[in-house]
Amino acid sequence: MLPLPRFSWEAPDRLPDLVRLAAEPGARLVAGGTDLLPSMKHRIFRPGTLVSTRRVPELRTLRVGADHSLSLGAALSLRELARHAEVRTHFPSLALALGSVATPTIQGMATLGGNLMLDTRCMYYNQPSGWRAALGGCLKCEGTLCHVAPRGAGCYAAHSADTVPVLMLLGATAVFATPNGELPIAVGELYPEDGREGPRCPPGAVLVRVEVPAPQRAVAFRKLRQRAAIDYGLLLTAVAPTPEGWEAVISAVAPQPIRVAAPTREALADAVHKAVQPLPTHQQASTWRKRMLRVEVARALASLPA
Amino acid sequence: MSVRQPTPVPDPIGSYGAKIDGRERISGAALFVADLKLPRMVHAKFVRSTRAHARIVRIHLDAALAIPGVVGHCVGEELPRRYGVIPVAQDETALAVGKVRYIGEPVVCIAALDPETAHRACEAVRVEYEDIEAILTIEAALDPARPTIHEYARKPSNILRRVHQNYGNVDAGFAEAAVVLEENFDYPGSTHVALESHAALARVEPDGKLTLWSSTQNPHYVHRDVARVLGLRDQDVRLIKPAVGAGYGGKCDPFCSDICASHLARKLGRPVRIVLEREEVFLAHRGRHPTRMWLKMGFSAEGRITAVDFKAWADGGAYASYGVVTSYYLGVFMPLPYQLENYRFESHRLYTNKPPCGPKRGHGAIQPRFALEVLLDRAAGRLGLDPAAMRRDNCVEANSETCNGLRVTSVGIQACIDAVVQASGYTERRGKLGPGRGLGIATSAYMCGALHPIYQNEMPHSTVQIKIDRSGEVVVYSGTADVGQGSNHMLAGLVAHRLGLHPADIRVLEGDTSLTPVDLGSYSSRVTFMAGNAALLAVNPLRERIVAAVAEKLGCDPAEVSFGRPGHADRGDGPRVGTDTSDVSWVDAVWLAEEKSGPLVNAGGYTPPKIGSRFRRQSVGPSPAYSFTAQVAEVVVDEETGMVAVERIWVAHDCGRVLNLAVVEGQIEGCVYMGVGEALCEEQRYLPGGLIRAPSILEYKLPTVHESPEVTVFAIESHDPEGPLGAKEAGEGPQLSTVPAIANAIFDASGVWLHQPPFTPERVLRALDARARGGPP
């Protein structure tokens, strides 16, 4: 087994302490650790201190509004959220997305906040340190060349958080705690254009909760993957009607989820196919993933009421 | 209160009884190498090559050795003696000496007080390389103008072995054929992914002798090679195989972990443990050879096979491993299970700058079986014949000889075909399931151990010793390696059967070179046949001595004495030994026998029969018996995505005789699941420079429970005349026909032939596109 690098451990039980400790040099937040710890074993990250979010009550609170709006603590596990009656009844697409992450055992450990703040992924990046050394590193880590697009302008590591496309179409907001008070950011605004950066967390801020407004429209979600469990998505597709027509959010194809709109149901698949270009960030052929864009959008639409 | 009715001890043979070591496995109590801790033990890890093919110019160790907690290291020059299980191809060293031959090859081994420090120290080592042109493809390996990866041969080249054999008159066979088909096939490389990674723990005993605990399938060969490399006498090395978390062929070689742990334990004077990381297991590899094949077959109008011509090029990676054997296995099993008169093959096993390939379940026979079974279905289509009936008509018969001189004894292939055809409704349903759903059939045959040993000798291939103690305890000592396949239960079952005891009453001590007599190891599906026979040879004389003593005591005819008799109503269950009118308890029977004829200890050794062959060169391939399999797959093809779902497999396997039904079914199911993985998703792939693409079980795709079909198993009993109680193998052969059955089912579902597993969505779509454009299917 790959040994973890050495680190020290903090597990505060008050939110101000969490915000303070997270801002210290060399510190990194850990929630479920299901993605962070493998990356640490790969020596992608070598934090001096891990600061656990799990004992802070504000991050473990789930509130349901009279209008069925949700306030979901960032440290709640994917499993408890996916099984929650309100989520299942009023946000079935979110329940589906939560339940599509990895495996049931990992869902029991992994958290909503961890999923939102998931680092971008790439087959040249999520590898053990010895492998990356043989490759000479990449633009995102230890190197100067992007192996996905050597002549490209930046890093194309893919946004891979299963819950985000659905949360974007549900109009969800991520609420951060900072030393100067709360800072809300729309979920769709969290992800920068360049894959090197990972999710945007304002300096000194900690994601406390995700607010989902009252359900307004049906959202459909699909996760394309080679196996029906364990795998990260090859395409993440969420679709929903809008007042002007239809829209889709596609992810696992670029550092940012891509939002595409079309005037009609029929035009949406073509619009997505035109707007989205999967790159060889994954082990599976990007030509096939490109072709599957139309299929996934069509199947997502078909799962919605006409 | 009712008096419990005593019952006879049930015969374990053929039953569904729980494995004797099942409970320790499922409860987590079994001790694997990674569980073993010794006082003052240190942990070692490897610095691995970042180059595919390069001379080592200099190794800078100072920074690593200065790290607090680092206690020692070793480099290749300390262990220069080459080793390898196959005597004619010993080309490996535990650490690279002078040059590296693949990315990931071990170069330095560093020991530290804990694994994290050892890992950090390895990262601090800097190695200067001078690159040599890397050989990464079959074409490059065949090009004599390219650099050679090894220099040890008399005429260095990147062809480790070329085998060419010719039987009958192939050209005449094609001339008389009504239909001749030929096709190119590409079978991918894949790896074993045993749950437990390779691991070793070594300790120098106070008397200077070495004890090595190793996660291995082959204690005997690892024992020999470790002694050889370290310059020790074999007798001064003790190799112990603790519980092993599976091998599938991946633990048949000695590994860097075995040799470096042993060497460092002697160098440092303290125990050294090495547990390979999962990434390193992918680099240790020894998996399926990626194989390019060309196959040509001729058929009569009635579907009889008139000739087979076959060529194969196996991309073997940087070291030989079992590659010489692979080159033979690629060709020699082709004349089973069908009658062939005219057959020739030419195979090449090549060196390339990639992790070494070796034996993986169905070693060498998987690839040609895929090609042959697919071409057979295509021929059936061309001739308008039912593929199952056509196969049935071509089957070999019992007590026959193949064109290449394999002696065939028991044959259950026709019963296998009948079982799966009937259960699946193949005849009625094939071609009628509508677009996207289809059925496919394939058959196969495999060996039950090799007739000839790997290194030249006339000794038994397996020896089993049995001690029956006056306490009544029966201990079986065997050099076999139970790696989860159930050989311990097999031995216990056979001995319990002969002595009228429960298998759980038999203690099996195995895989310890100082404690147990030699067995050659868990490879080539040899253990049930060979160790099973040795166990019977060991127990039978002991049984006779107990019979004689009990008959004398009871004053009866020895022929009347039976074992496993029920107890008496007032004293509970047996086992007892005696007759219908009088008997003694098992323990009393043991006392009587020991008093009458001395210690109840006996050994039996199994040596395969000397079977003459018309072909002197046929030394690799002949087996004392062959197993047979037929299976039908039902698949669903999503023609929009290209995704294939295997919904059901019906598999019938002729295992000679069922010794334990749970183990036989489990082995057959395991074969099928491994075959489904190779059919749908498994492939060990490399970047163009030779760097492995996906050394993790996140990205190396094994089927999950969702991708695993419902499997219906039929165990067919052909009662082999030489197998232990008639038994043959069940743990390897059933995998051979899974992939072609799925390929043939995909054709039935969607009208396309696929010649390259795994049948990934993009490959399926490409074939469907070609069909849509009007190309050949």
Chain B residues within 8 A of A132 when measuring between CB atoms: none
What are the pLDDT digits (tens) for A144-183? 999 999 998 899 999 999 999 999 999 999 999 999 999 9
Chain-chain contact of B765 with A291 (C-beta, under 8 angstroms): yes
Does A190 score more than 80 pLDDT? yes
Measured between CA atoms, the residue of chain B closest to residue A224 is B641
> Chain B residues contacting A, CB < 8 Å?
48-51, 103-104, 114-116, 119-120, 123, 197, 275, 277-279, 640-642, 681, 685, 687, 691-696, 698-699, 701, 703-707, 760-762, 765
Q: Strands of B556-702 (E only): list them.
A: 562-565, 576-578, 583-585, 600-606, 626-637, 644-654
Output the pLDDT for position B4: 56
If you average pLDDT over every residue of chain B, what do you get? 96
Chain B residues within 8 A of A231 when measuring between CB atoms: 698, 701
Stretch (H or E) spanning B77: none
How many residues are listed for chain B in this entry?
777
CB pairs under 8 A between A and B: 83
What are the pLDDT digits (tens) for B115-152? 999 999 999 999 999 999 999 999 999 999 999 999 88
Measured between CA atoms, the residue of chain A closest to residue B682 is A226
Query: Coil, helix or strand for B310?
Result: strand
A134 interfaces chain B, CB cutoff of 8 Å:
yes
**Percent of the residues in chain B that have a pLDDT greater than 70, as a whole number:** 99
Output the pLDDT for position B153: 76
Chain-chain contact of A43 with B123 (C-beta, under 8 angstroms): yes
What are the pLDDT digits (tens) for B473-515? 999 999 999 999 999 999 999 999 999 999 999 999 999 999 9
Chain-chain contact of A133 with B50 (C-beta, under 8 angstroms): yes
Chain-chain contact of A130 with B104 (C-beta, under 8 angstroms): yes
Q: Which residues contact B581 (CB under 8 A, 6 or more apart)?
A: none
Q: Which amino acid is at B33?
A: V
Distant-in-sequence contacts of B146-155, Cβ < 8 A, 24+ apart: B147/B53, B148/B351, B149/B53, B149/B101, B149/B318, B149/B351, B149/B352, B149/B353, B150/B91, B150/B101, B150/B351, B152/B82, B152/B91
Q: Which amino acid is at B191?
A: T
| Alpha-carbon distances, residue B216 vs B2, B69, B461, B732 (angstroms) | 51, 29, 18, 18
If you average pLDDT over every residue of chain A, what do you get? 96
Chain-chain contact of A230 with B704 (C-beta, under 8 angstroms): yes
Chain B residues within 8 A of A227 when measuring between CB atoms: 681, 701, 703-704, 706-707
What are the pLDDT digits (tens) for A74-83? 999 999 999 9
Chain B residues within 8 A of A229 when measuring between CB atoms: 704-706
Chain-chain contact of A227 with B701 (C-beta, under 8 angstroms): yes
Chain-chain contact of B706 with A228 (C-beta, under 8 angstroms): yes
What are the pLDDT digits (tens) for B45-96? 999 999 999 999 999 999 999 999 999 999 999 999 999 999 999 999 999 9
Output the pLDDT for position B155: 81
Chain A residues within 8 A of B699 when measuring between CB atoms: 123, 283
Question: Which ipTM did the prediction report?
Answer: 0.96
A207 dihedral zone (left: phi>0; alpha: psi -120 to 50; beta)? beta
By Cβ distance, the residue of B50, B279, B681 closest to A128 is: B279
A99 interfaces chain B, CB cutoff of 8 Å:
no
Cα–Cα–Cα angle for A290, A292, A295, rounded to 5 degrees: 140
Chain B residues within 8 A of A226 when measuring between CB atoms: 681, 701, 760-761
Chain B residues within 8 A of A123 when measuring between CB atoms: 693-694, 699
A101 interfaces chain B, CB cutoff of 8 Å:
no
Token representation of residue B490: 């097999």
- What sign results for the dihedral spanned by CA atoms B539, B542, B544, B547? negative
Cα–Cα–Cα angle for B326, B689, B132, rounded to 5 degrees: 85
As a whole number of angstroms, the distance between CA B51 and CA B130 comes to 9
Chain-chain contact of B641 with A128 (C-beta, under 8 angstroms): no
Distance from CA of A194 to the nearest CA of B (A): 24
Chain B residues within 8 A of A230 when measuring between CB atoms: 698, 704
| Structure confidence at residue B617 as a pLDDT band (50, 70, 90) | low
As a whole number of angstroms, the distance between CA B403 and CA B613 comes to 11
Output the pLDDT for position B616: 65
**Counts for chain B of helices (H) and strands (E), in that order:** 19, 28
Q: Are B219 and B241 in contact (CB under 8 A)?
A: yes
Distance from CA of A181 to the nearest CA of B (A): 40
**Cβ count within 10 A of residue B245:** 18
Stretch (H or E) spanning A94: helix A92-98
Measured between CA atoms, the residue of chain A closest to residue B278 is A1
Output the pLDDT for position B1: 45
By Cβ distance, the residue of B104, B693, B762 closest to A285 is: B762
Query: Coil, helix or strand for B123?
Result: helix
Does A263 score more than 90 pLDDT? yes
By Cβ distance, the residue of A1, A231, A295 closest to B640 is: A295
Does B638 score more than 80 pLDDT? yes
What's the mean pLDDT in B310-320?
Answer: 98
| Structure confidence at residue A201 as a pLDDT band (50, 70, 90) | confident
| Alpha-carbon distances, residue B400 vs B339, B480, B721 (angstroms) | 10, 31, 14
Question: Domains (ranges, CATH) in chain B?
Answer: 22-29+459-606 (3.30.365.10), 39-132+197-244+251-284 (3.90.1170.50), 363-452+615-772 (3.30.365.10)
By Cβ distance, the residue of A4, A129, A285 closest to B116 is: A4
Lowest mean pLDDT, pick from B154-168, B183-197, B238-252: B154-168
Half-sphere exposure of B365 (CA within 13 A, CB side): 27
Question: Whose CA is closest to B42, among B2, B14, B72, B17?
Answer: B72
Distant-in-sequence contacts of B26-33, Cβ < 8 A, 24+ apart: B30/B242, B30/B243, B31/B242, B31/B243, B32/B196, B32/B199, B32/B215, B32/B242, B32/B243, B32/B244, B32/B245, B33/B199, B33/B200, B33/B201, B33/B213, B33/B214, B33/B215, B33/B242, B33/B273, B33/B275
Distance from CA of B30 to the nearest CA of A (A): 19
Measured between CA atoms, the residue of chain B closest to residue A229 is B704
By Cβ distance, the residue of B116, B701, B707 closest to A5 is: B116
